[in-house]
Structure 1
Amino acid sequence: MTTDVVEKVEEANNKKVSWEAFVKQDVLNFMINHNLQAITVDDGAGKKGVIKRTSKGDFSVQITSNEIL
């Protein structure tokens, strides 16, 4: 049983995508599938994504990142 859990964790780690790809793919697909006009996502670590439907029916994607150096 623990082998299955370890394999699933390793599989999930291999499938990780960048924040930008997540916003432009998964979040956009969620928005389209649920017929939303706008959606905002925040990872809690300074990265934020905002997607809005324009009056023409296109999508405006805005991705911001705050980093402390």
Structure 2
Amino acid sequence: MKGPLFYSKILLFGEYGIIQDSKGLSIPYNFYNGALKTEENLSETALESNKSLMRFSDYLAQLQINQPTLVQFDITA
């Protein structure tokens, strides 16, 4: 793969860590990694994935319009 690799991490936190806003520990784990790549000819799976992501993005945009006190996203980014 060309371009920068993105390595995985192991995230450790306590059972109530998220609820009580406590700290966690992130440990690099180089066994798994990934990279962003582009294709000129997308496979059927890639096309379906892109459509699904677009529907999810549309859903989030509608959610922000319909219930602005519930959630705020920077969808234009």
How high is the TM-score relative to the length of structure 1?
A: 0.26
Relative CO higher for 1 or 2, CA cutoff 8 Å, sep ≥ 6?
Answer: 2
Larger radius of gyration: 2
How high is the TM-score relative to the length of structure 2?
A: 0.24
Q: Which protein has the bigger strand share? A: 1
Q: Which protein has the bigger helix share? A: 1
